[in-house]
Structure 1
């Protein structure tokens, strides 16, 4: 009788989830709403409690937590235990741009079908964020993506504070980003996928693919990605009637002259994942293909990822372990990259003839793609990136506790930190900001800095009990270095975390300081000699009394040492510190 009851219960559960998703019920023309998606996953977790669990993390700017569905064949839902049991973690993120919703609908069907058919893999745990940009998913219309072919209605790219969340993984202006980073650093996925829809040229493919850029990824992971995983994704998706092509990043108006690889900096989801030695993918379905085909191709791609991760579970885990060990010992870290335009491959590309005809609006010739003239031909593909800026790591960074947001983000990203137990003067290398460019218009809420030049100076600097010391001997070294080195493209400095040090707080009145400066020149012959040398070198300076007075001021103890000084110090000698 007990066995019959269990069989009946299983049958009821399977029947419960024979129902279709909103996408399926709409004849594959509509995407689900946020409320329907969460309700679906809640019912799914109730129907299959032994193999699925729905978690919530943090909050979002919309006031709702992020959900995470975890599918685990053995019913283990503790990430620490799963790592001890040598299970792989595969994380799927959907709806970072809710107007690109294919992954939202595909993941619902994918999770349901795996559970219904009892086909969860043994060694791979699948984690799904149903909708990341909850805020934007509520801002529904059918017009915000003017070039897209369906669905009937969809969400908006910006969140409720109008942030593009796929630019927020370092600066973390949104609560969404905080909650995501909590998920990512709790589960520590080896493979990460962030589902999207493209813009741009027209061509025959339904799905394009952006893997983590191979040259910036850890070399151990890059070798597996380029030699095994990407070729197998291409091969298997072709067998499923959805050929892949690299994301069509055209060097000219059309793809005919060639395309380039995409270098994702840490502000983007896959660039952020690479800082943690996680292989990331950004599949981009083509905006002009029908919505049902876009969802179907995403579903089949998710299946393909799981098949490959299951097959290669052991090597993927071993590669991650080796990559983390390598990174902990790594000395030099690239901070920016440039495309080598002298190196390229020829790839087969299936496009449509690009033509021009008079615009019905302006009468001026306009571009269009003629779908009656498909073609297959070889085009150039540039995908060799080389470091354009590299830094050697210090022994440790020393961070004043006042910079609380920096401390919070480092902790959120599993960075090991210690604190000084007593006040101490430390011999450190300190950066002075020599020059930089600052945007004249805001980008994602910030007037970003770039092209930062630094003047390093060895100084004895006062730090205090409770200030933080971050040793650069960790698997998370890339996150540490690429956020704390101010010249890095997505450093905390470039995102304006430290702009207060760029303002001078004290000055002088010339008529008073004239006498002080005269006394200084008498008291310090070296300063007098330095001033005379500058006058001899620069005739304009020699004629400018105010400039000379300012020179004396800036080369004296009266000039504030903290002006333009980056507040995080670099410990270059492995000295003993009193730490807790």
Structure 2
């Protein structure tokens, strides 16, 4: 059977609708025993996520596949349904691999037909104002108006939870998330964002930078689609140089890196014709399959070693900064640019002249260095009240133990002493950043059913980068714990004045502490209300849970009675 896709039938200028894609894949699964279509969870649109699995051996159990030492390649399409090349390319590729009996021997291919189902139904021809086709396409936001490529940690959407169920069930070694770019004009049809090399596990990064990425570039050049790194310009035009993209765990490739999976975001160029963009995506996906098949053994061995390394790792990096002093040269095929008067405003506007192509050497800055790090604890203890966090950890294959009985435990707690919060909402949240902490060692009461997460697992990076509040995409920064940041009790000043006087009379240490603060801070010395508040906050009347981060660190290996 050689079923044509809607893209092919339309003369290669239309993209497939969600219903057409699922019907197509259902037909493929009925026709070929090497294909099986699964459904997982639900989405905010009320439909499940589908997953087409192509297995030459007709084994469709991920545990059995891993036991048989096969690699798993996961392809995600339509996270932004206005960037639909992968939707159409994957349909043709699956058909062609099955029809010609060319499924790889050592690689099982998993394809999510359309991830943002919600957005794919919101179909227009105008939401991507800068894009050259197709005729109609979906919308970037889902039905909650969430950008799903910012939702891999906070998981505000059901789509994200369903994706994480797929990802953590199949545990792919390589992940590809298909996209379309938006930005400068240049000659390339395809650009590429690999997982940022400096924040990927070093074992995986060595293979990525020395073998996988160079071979992808070489093979795509042979297929007529030379590539360039994603054009993340430092200035107005690419000639000013480009910077490597640092994808934090909110993004798909940043998320998969927490699980020691090598991730890619291929970005076709929005101004190239749609047929070329689909063809380039098809050929790139084909290239991934060929390279992963060729290197199946070493990719599997690297993943095993990386998981072992992370399970034993003691120090974890939480933030990175770009080294702007280190750059390498890139040969870049662009177009001459210039400025002319805008017909709208009369002001100068940028334009590119496609009649003047050039090849120039430009700078690429792509070296990231550690900015914040932390030593892992023996375990984290999470009170059972914070069940959303516990559920997300379990969804990500984190082993979570539970206390069998009530117990007092010596722990290290963080008090949040400072942070910045965005002035405007971002993806439904007012993000925190620049978190400052003050660690305190004390003994806290815990109760039967409270969660204990030991940091000796292959999922350690996920554990640490979500639970340490200083991490870029920590649960704290995504507002999961904002209720600890305001006080639940206070005082009436006219009453507490007498209480505070009595406290100072009976506590010389507190009296001296107040005097030292007044001597060091002239404004404080003139502010009676501030001094009264200082006494309150240094007394037993002040609630100990205010600003205390509720996820505690077990820093000594105390034996706990666990279920």
Confirm whether residue 137 of structure 1 aligns to residue 120 of structure 2.
yes
- TM-score w.r.t. length of structure 1: 0.96
| RMSD of Structure 2 on Structure 1 (CA) | 0.9
**1:524 pairs with 507, 514, 519, which one?**
507
CA distance in 1, matches of 2:367, 2:490: 50
Give the match for residue 489 of structure 2.
Answer: 506
CA distance in 2, matches of 1:542, 1:171: 43
Give the match for residue 139 of structure 2.
Answer: 156
**1:111 pairs with 77, 91, 94, which one?**
94
CA distance in 1, matches of 2:243, 2:475: 28
Post-superposition Cα deviations, 1:482-513, rounded to whole Å, max 9, x if no partner, equal: 00011111000000000000110001112222
Give the match for residue 31 of structure 1.
Answer: 15
CA distance in 2, matches of 1:405, 1:431: 20
CA distance in 2, matches of 1:143, 1:235: 36
Give the match for residue 10 of structure 1.
Answer: none
Confirm whether residue 455 of structure 1 aligns to residue 438 of structure 2.
yes
Confirm whether residue 290 of structure 1 aligns to residue 273 of structure 2.
yes
CA distance in 2, matches of 1:535, 1:495: 37
Confirm whether residue 204 of structure 1 aligns to residue 187 of structure 2.
yes
The secondary structure found in structure 2 opposite 1:551 is: helix
CA distance in 1, matches of 2:336, 2:255: 37
**1:191 pairs with 174, 190, 210, which one?**
174
CA distance in 1, matches of 2:15, 2:324: 41
Counting only pairs closer than 5 Å after superposition, residues 134-283 of structure 1 correspond to structure 2 as 134-283=117-266
Please state how far the C-alpha of 1:546 moved relative to its aligned partner.
2.3
Please state how far the C-alpha of 1:365 moved relative to its aligned partner.
2.0
CA distance in 1, matches of 2:6, 2:521: 75
Please state how far the C-alpha of 1:472 moved relative to its aligned partner.
0.6
Post-superposition Cα deviations, 1:211-253, rounded to whole Å, max 9, x if no partner, equal: 0000000000000000000000000000000001000001010
CA distance in 1, matches of 2:273, 2:448: 61
Post-superposition Cα deviations, 1:401-422, rounded to whole Å, max 9, x if no partner, equal: 0011101100000000101111
Please state how far the C-alpha of 1:364 moved relative to its aligned partner.
1.9
Counting only pairs closer than 5 Å after superposition, residues 6-85 of structure 1 correspond to structure 2 as 15=1, 18-48=2-32, 50-85=33-68
Confirm whether residue 352 of structure 1 aligns to residue 335 of structure 2.
yes
**1:573 pairs with 553, 556, 559, which one?**
556
CA distance in 2, matches of 1:553, 1:162: 44
Give the match for residue 440 of structure 1.
Answer: 423
Give the match for residue 329 of structure 1.
Answer: 312
CA distance in 2, matches of 1:316, 1:453: 39
Please state how far the C-alpha of 1:524 moved relative to its aligned partner.
2.1
Please state how far the C-alpha of 1:146 moved relative to its aligned partner.
0.6
Please state how far the C-alpha of 1:290 moved relative to its aligned partner.
0.4
CA distance in 2, matches of 1:245, 1:542: 61
- TM-score w.r.t. length of structure 2: 0.99
The secondary structure found in structure 1 opposite 2:380 is: strand
Post-superposition Cα deviations, 1:90-126, rounded to whole Å, max 9, x if no partner, equal: 0000000000000000000000000001111111000
Confirm whether residue 405 of structure 1 aligns to residue 388 of structure 2.
yes
Report the number of matched residues.
563
Post-superposition Cα deviations, 1:425-483, rounded to whole Å, max 9, x if no partner, equal: 11111111111111111100001111111111112111111000001111111100000
Confirm whether residue 471 of structure 1 aligns to residue 454 of structure 2.
yes
CA distance in 2, matches of 1:539, 1:452: 27
**1:385 pairs with 368, 372, 384, which one?**
368
